[in-house]
Chains A and B, each alone.
Chain A
Amino acid sequence: MVGATYALAHKLYPYAPVADQAADVAVHHPVIIIGGGPIGVATGIDLAQKGTPALILDDHDGVGMGSRAICFAKRTLEIADRLGAGAEMVEKGVVWNVGRVFHGEGEVFDFNLLPEDGHRNPAFINLQQPYFEKFLVDALRRAEAEGKPIEIRGRNVVTGIRQDADKVTLSIDTPDGPYTLTADYVIACDGARSPTRDMMGLSFDGRVFEDNFLIADVKMTADFPTERWFWFEPPLANAPQSALLHKQPDDVWRIDFQLGWDIDREAELDPAKIRQRIDEFLPDGTAYELVWTSIYTFQCRRMERFRHGRVMFAGDAAHQVSPFGARGANSGIQDSDNLAWKLDLVLRSLAPDTLLDTYHAERAHGADENILNSTRATDFLTPKSEMSKIFRNAVLTLARDHAFARPMVNSGRLSVPCTYDGLPLNTPDALTGPARTRPGSPCPDAPLADGFLLDRLPGCFTLLALDTDPPDITEVGGIPIRTLRLHGADLTDALRDRYLGDAPHALYLIRPDQHVAARWPNADAATITTALSTATGQPCN
Chain B
Amino acid sequence: MQLNTQPNIPDPDGFYDELLAAHQGLTKDQSDALNARLILILANHIGDRDILREALKAAG
Contacts and interface: CB of A to CB of B under 8 A. Distances in A.
Nearest to A388: B36
B40 A390 contact: no
B23 interface: no
A397 B44 contact: no
A461 B47 CA distance: 43
A398 B36 CA distance: 10
Nearest to A403: B44
B44 A394 contact: no
Interface residues of A, number: 12
A405 B36 CA distance: 12
Contacts of A397: 33, 37
A21 interface: no
Contacts of B39: 391, 394
A405 B33 contact: no
Contacts of B37: 394, 397-398
B41 A398 contact: yes
B47 to A, nearest CB: 9
Interface string B22-60: 000000000011001101110010000000000000000
B44 A390 contact: no
A394 B40 CA distance: 8
Contacts of A393: 33, 36
Nearest to B37: A394
A387 B33 CA distance: 9
Contacts of A404: 41, 44
Contacts of B44: 404-405
A387 B29 CA distance: 11
Interface string A373-402: 000000000000001001101110110001
B40 A405 contact: yes
Contacts of A408: 40
A405 B43 CA distance: 11
Nearest to B45: A404
A395 B40 contact: yes
A32 B40 CA distance: 53
Contacts of A394: 33, 36-37, 39-40
Contacts of A387: 32
Contacts of B33: 390, 393-394, 397
Contacts of A395: 40
Nearest to A399: B40
A154 B41 CA distance: 58
Contacts of A390: 32-33, 36
Contacts of A398: 37, 40-41
A376 to B, nearest CB: 16
Nearest to B44: A404
Contacts of B36: 390-391, 393-394
Contacts of B41: 398, 402, 404
Contacts of A405: 40, 44
Nearest to B32: A390
A401 to B, nearest CB: 11
B45 to A, nearest CB: 9
A344 B41 CA distance: 54
A404 B40 CA distance: 9
Interface in A54-87: none
A391 B39 CA distance: 9
Nearest to A391: B36
Nearest to B43: A404
A339 B18 CA distance: 61
5 contacts: A390-B36, A393-B33, A393-B36, A394-B39, A404-B41
Interface of A: 387, 390-391, 393-395, 397-398, 402, 404-405, 408
Given A393-B36, A397-B33, A404-B44, 5 more contacts: A387-B32, A394-B37, A397-B37, A398-B37, A405-B44
| In the complex, the 7 A-B pairs of residues with the closest C-beta atoms, listed nearest first | A394-B36, A404-B44, A394-B37, A390-B36, A391-B36, A390-B32, A394-B40
